[in-house]
Structure 1
């Protein structure tokens, strides 16, 4: 029997990721979708029903109940806790299923993801994996995201691992999958990457500002940097 999927969080990134999931998963399986913006759910169902069954549900618990794979991407740590740990409406209140895969793709703090993962494991809800993504909306639309995965590499002899690999290949590019072994390691890598990216951006802006303040044309200065050792992007 084909796996049913649940997708929680239909913002700009989530909408594009869920679109690829519905297009690539089995046509015989159901995709359960949930978002606080009900109009996004309605629009998604209208645009994707030709690919297979889609059910709009009002809580994360309902989304996870009959799903073997749950994917979420929400704004922050408090939202992740609400999605997964709310005792009434969260995933933790769903039907127990030790074979369920829970891929959490938000960029949040490591402590929260470890807390959530440990509580879900203890409750028998499945394997929770921090799976932050990189590449932005264009890569999400192409199904070409980089994935930083807090989990050991898939083992061909482990059916759960095989399903994880299959799932991630629906939203990302396997050459850009980084299996970082332990829960929280994916987020540690994502935060490190974002810190470096932000630092480069800040330094670039400061350097350009210095040149412009001294009368240089910003386009010419940009060309100089592109052709010199300051090139970093």
Structure 2
């Protein structure tokens, strides 16, 4: 495994003797969680010789991971209660705030009935509204030896697959040291410390996602203009690769130009709308307008509405849309087909 730059890990290795993490669990094997759990399982097996305990509401994903890695690296929990009671550290990567709250209420109920006798760290990695972090901390704070850390991550599924995520941590310092040591390297390439306020990490996650949404909106508008001008979005994409070779520009630009809007292999548009709604709520709460997010939100709604009608009529090319499909909103506003970039431009090159 390649060496990781020291600045990528803002914590020293946890001191020994001290809290020993014997068993690690992971709840939520979605598009991101599956790859994070797989990388964590591989690292735990190589360094600690112990299997990662996993749980997913659909057992098929757990069984898939077990089949891929083997019983020496993966153990399937039969319930969320078993997971949280058996493991010293539990990571959660879930789809929505409502699911996160429900899962942690279940964790709390199980732990109150069986008070831990040694340290236990619960790590929430989902994209949630910041105030929910405070609610979860209140929920867990009166349970002995139980610590809570927020740790959202930056990066698409391909970054999760290759272990190149950026992990953002907030919470009690010693717990953050333990979690950073588990995640970097292997799951993430870098850990960022946002301090002790648990709401800071999810806030920072929304700020980062606002930049990604802004990138998508800029690309959508520029590519649509290039198509209308008869230059073509493919030509504009070449400029993007030369002038703005950052991963979001290059990766999402490619999806737009080639109409690769499969949300099952990317970030589903429903998740994008959830994040956009969180960002819009945050900027409202803080009186800090962000009109690019409003535009991106409207274009995602347009794309989802068109896709829903196509599914109803049996004409949809994808079961789930990627959030890069927001380009459909800009296209239809300009009189172009929503999901077919290969169609004839309204203005033809000379």
The TM-score, its normalising length taken from structure 2, stands at: 0.57
Aligned match for 2:219, one of 204, 213, 221: 204
Deviation of 1:112 (Å): 1.1
Stretches of structure 2 that go unaligned for 5 or more consecutive residues are: 1-19, 250-350
Deviation of 1:8 (Å): 0.4
Which residue in 2 is equivalent to 1:74?
94
Which residue in 1 is equivalent to 2:156?
136
Aligned match for 2:34, one of 4, 15, 37: 15
Aligned match for 1:218, one of 233, 255, 268: 233
Tell me if 1:25 matches 2:28.
no
Which residue in 1 is equivalent to 2:193?
179
Aligned match for 1:116, one of 133, 136, 159: 136
The CA distance in 1 between the partners of 2:194 and 2:165, in whole Å, is 16
Task: Map 1:165-176 to 2 at 5 A.
Answer: 165-169=180-184, 170-173=186-189, 176=190
Aligned match for 1:51, one of 67, 72, 94: 72
The CA distance in 1 between the partners of 2:53 and 2:236, in whole Å, is 51
Deviation of 1:79 (Å): 0.8
1:3-27 per-residue CA deviation (whole Å, 9 max, x = no partner) reads 1111100112111111122211155
* Structure whose alpha-carbon radius of gyration is higher: 2
Deviation of 1:102 (Å): 1.1
Secondary structure, in 3 states, of the residue corresponding to 1:108?
Answer: coil
Deviation of 1:44 (Å): 1.8
The CA distance in 2 between the partners of 1:147 and 1:109, in whole Å, is 17
Stretches of structure 1 that go unaligned for 5 or more consecutive residues are: none
Deviation of 1:200 (Å): 2.2
Deviation of 1:30 (Å): 4.3
Q: 1:43 to 1:78 in 2, by over 3 A?
A: same
Root mean square deviation, CA, Å:
2.4
CA contact (8 A) 1:28 1:53 kept: no
Which residue in 1 is equivalent to 2:103?
83
Q: 1:2 to 1:201 in 2, by over 3 A?
A: closer
CA contact (8 A) 1:10 1:18 kept: yes
Q: 1:141 to 1:51 in 2, by over 3 A?
A: farther
Deviation of 1:201 (Å): 1.3
1:96-144 per-residue CA deviation (whole Å, 9 max, x = no partner) reads 3362111111111111121012211222361111111111222212222
The CA distance in 1 between the partners of 2:222 and 2:101, in whole Å, is 40
Secondary structure, in 3 states, of the residue corresponding to 1:102?
Answer: strand
Query: Which structure: greater strand fraction?
Result: 1
Q: Which stretch shows the higher mean deviation, 126-135 or 202-211?
A: 202-211
The CA distance in 2 between the partners of 1:6 and 1:47, in whole Å, is 17
